[in-house]
């Protein structure tokens, strides 16, 4: 089960990275088209329809899909200044409380985002850009990303309870 969960977290991080790459490629292509229009005049004036909308959708996808991967690698912002001054047992208790609260908050966010996505699906909400996209599609990546975050919080909480010590270690050094 551990390997499967780690692979899921890695996949979500990979999807986030590909989404950032897609933003870079999309914006670079549009800038190239703008340069072409400046050099070639109105005859060579092209634009990627709804490129700003798509860049926004990719940004949301990257943001939400990176959450679980980031949590599992200890890269979220933590208050180490306080935690490092606590005794080992208190550090563990603080981590358990933080993980439980994080799980509760992310589970609520999953519920809310799912209801928002289902409402958009029910009413047939569409984006207002040149290319009309059903809004539930980008909202779906938010639901999946938040669901993976809730799973990562629960996974880490169970792991910490079993280990009887903090298991989150900062992935970066100061």
pLDDT at site 42: 87
Tokens of residue 50, six digits:
């709804």
The DSSP result for 156-173, as a single string, is HHHHHHHHTS-----SS-
pLDDT at site 74: 80
In a domain, 115, yes or no: yes
Over residues 149-156, mean pLDDT: 97
The DSSP result for 99-128, as a single string, is HHHHHHHHHHHHHHHHHHHHHHHHHT-B--
Between 47-61, 111-125, 155-169, the lowest mean confidence (pLDDT) is in 155-169
pLDDT at site 88: 86
pLDDT at site 171: 53
Contacting residues for 173 by C-beta, under 8 A, at least 6 apart: none
Give me the chain's average pLDDT, please.
Answer: 93
In a domain, 130, yes or no: yes
Q: What is the span of the domain harbouring residue 56?
A: 2-163
In a domain, 173, yes or no: no
* Residue 69 vs residue 167, higher pLDDT: 69
Write out pLDDT tens, residues 64-87: 999 999 999 887 777 677 778 889
Between 19-28, 89-98, 133-142, 146-155, the lowest mean confidence (pLDDT) is in 89-98
User: What pTM was estimated for this model as a whole?
Assistant: 0.90
Residue 172, pLDDT > 60, answer no
In a domain, 83, yes or no: yes
In a domain, 109, yes or no: yes
Over residues 15-43, mean pLDDT: 95
Nearest residue to 145 via CA among 169, 117, 171, 167: 117
Q: What's the structural domain count of the chain?
A: 1
The confidence band for 136, taking pLDDT boundaries of 50, 70 and 90, is very high
In a domain, 12, yes or no: yes
In a domain, 133, yes or no: yes
Residue 173, pLDDT > 80, answer no
In a domain, 91, yes or no: yes
Write out pLDDT tens, residues 94-126: 999 999 999 999 999 999 999 999 999 999 999
């Amino acid at each position: 089960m551990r390997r499967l969960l780690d692979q899921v977290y890695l996949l979500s991080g990979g999807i986030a990275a590909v989404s950032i790459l897609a933003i870079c490629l999309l914006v670079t292509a549009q800038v190239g088209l703008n340069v072409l229009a400046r050099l070639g005049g109105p005859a060579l004036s092209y634009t990627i329809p709804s490129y700003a909308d798509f860049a926004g959708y990719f940004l949301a996808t990257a943001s939400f899909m990176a959450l679980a991967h980031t949590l599992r690698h200890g890269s979220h912002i933590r208050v180490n200044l306080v935690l490092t001054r606590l005794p080992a047992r208190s550090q563990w208790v603080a981590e358990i409380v933080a993980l439980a609260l994080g799980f509760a908050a992310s589970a609520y966010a999953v519920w809310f985002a799912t209801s928002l996505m289902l409402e958009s699906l029910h009413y047939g909400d569409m984006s207002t850009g040149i290319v009309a996209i059903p809004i539930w599609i980008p909202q779906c990546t938010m639901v999946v990303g938040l669901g993976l975050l809730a799973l990562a919080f629960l996974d880490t909480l169970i792991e910490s309870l079993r280990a009887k010590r903090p298991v989150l270690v900062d992935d970066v050094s100061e």
